[in-house]
Amino acid sequence: MASITIIDIAKMCGVGVTTVSRAINDHPDISEETKAMIMKVIKENHYVPNNSARNLKRSASKTVAVLIKGITNPFFNRMIQMFEKEIKRKKYSFILQRVDEHQDEIEVAIELEKEKRLKGIVFLGGYFSHSKEKLEQLTVPFVLSTIGMAPEFDPTEFSSVSVDDFKESYKIVDFLCSLGHRKIAIITAPMDDSSIGKLRYEGYKKALEDHGLQVDSTLICSMKDHLESYSMENGYAVTKDLLESGEPFTALFAVSDSLAVGACKAIFESGKHVPGDYSVAGFDGLDIAYYYNPSITTIRQPVEEIAAETLRILFDLINKKQTHSHKIFPGELMIRESTTRI
């Protein structure tokens, strides 16, 4: 079936194309009667007005985009659902745009902003270290949500909502130390990688230091480059190597729950137990950390609150009700079965 055009509709109605366009765009220069007749024909023929043309005509389309780094991380699923629901409730359209790990999210956003005439943008996940000059190319409000940030950033230039990755990581490693662990391994991002993994590593280091423990480089395990980052598969492979190295340790902190699940699997396969032989802790508060056997001690990020606050700030910026602001939510240490005192 060939696509129906505005010209076909005009012919069917016995009017000009301009008149059809006026009906579609609620133009005042058309009688209610003619408009009703045209809209009826449009509906009966399932004609969908071409939005490329409509966007040019209209002064404002109302669209908010969510740009997400690493859509495969289950951590973001509930946030996306919340974003979509709330954005629709505000009568805005919602665009979900995935950004590759090695893609520049600002470039993607600049392109999207023009193409879709966005009203606002949420950046979700990853690490943010773009130049001021580059950020200024974005002309619509944006909020960084659950994103690690370079410390040199000027907080008056942008808004953000997240947990304090450094502090929360410190909290859970401090907890492991308080259980008597002295040899605590970590699975984290490679040292040259700027990601939230780095902030979480810094928190680990500080907690060890505050307990008078040396940071032992043989217990710092980087995720493998060739495997998906923060994944179960990666946690499994890294922990397998660690166990095979023979380096003694009694606890393992993985900077995501998925990594922690993979770590447990490697431990079981080596004939050892969690937490009997090794305590294991994760980060994020995914469902699977609760449903795993044993359930996994973790830092729960308050996903719903973070998502709601992100949109509250974004819509306030869109409506020019406020200047940039930064909200840090506390994470919650969830003590479960995977960790024990030694």
| Site residues, its own copies (CB under 8 A) | 1-3, 46, 48-53, 55-56, 71-72, 74, 77-78, 80-81, 84, 96-98, 110-111, 113-115, 117, 136-137, 139, 231-233, 236, 261-262, 264-265, 268, 287-288, 290-294
Question: Tokens 């058309």 identify what position?
Answer: 30
Nearer to its own copies, 217 or 293 (CB): 293
State in angstroms the smallest separation of the CB of 279 from its own copies.
15
**Torsion region of 126: left, alpha or beta (phi above 0 gives left; psi -120 to 50 gives alpha):** left
State in angstroms the smallest separation of the CB of 58 from its own copies.
10
Nearer to its own copies, 36 or 53 (CB): 53
φ, ψ at 69 (rounded to 5°): -95, 120
Nearer to its own copies, 10 or 208 (CB): 10
Rounded to whole angstroms, how far apart are CA atoms 184 and 206? 13
Nearer to its own copies, 115 or 247 (CB): 115
256 contacts 230 by C-beta, under 8 angstroms: yes
Our measurement of the distance from residue 223's CA atom to the centroid of its chain's CA atoms, rounded to an integer in Å, reads 19
Nearer to its own copies, 13 or 274 (CB): 274
Q: Provide the 3-class DSSP secondary structure of residue 285.
A: coil
42 contacts 11 by C-beta, under 8 angstroms: no
Token readout for 92 is 């805005």
State in angstroms the smallest separation of the CB of 29 from its own copies.
23
Nearer to its own copies, 105 or 113 (CB): 113
State in angstroms the smallest separation of the CB of 80 from its own copies.
7
How many Cβ atoms sit within 10 Å of the Cβ of residue 184? Answer: 24
Nearer to its own copies, 56 or 192 (CB): 56
Nearer to its own copies, 62 or 206 (CB): 62
Contacts of 131 (CB under 8 A, 6+ apart): none
Among candidate residues 190, 144, 176, 146, the one with its CA nearest the CA of residue 164 = 146
State in angstroms the smallest separation of the CB of 104 from its own copies.
13
φ, ψ at 146 (rounded to 5°): 50, 55
Rounded to whole angstroms, how far apart are CA atoms 261 and 186? 14
State in angstroms the smallest separation of the CB of 340 from its own copies.
16
Element (H, E) at 291: helix 287-291
State the amino acid at position 72 in one-letter form.
T
Token readout for 310 is 């992100």
> 6: number of CA atoms within 13 Å, CB side?
15
State in angstroms the smallest separation of the CB of 242 from its own copies.
17
State in angstroms the smallest separation of the CB of 52 from its own copies.
4
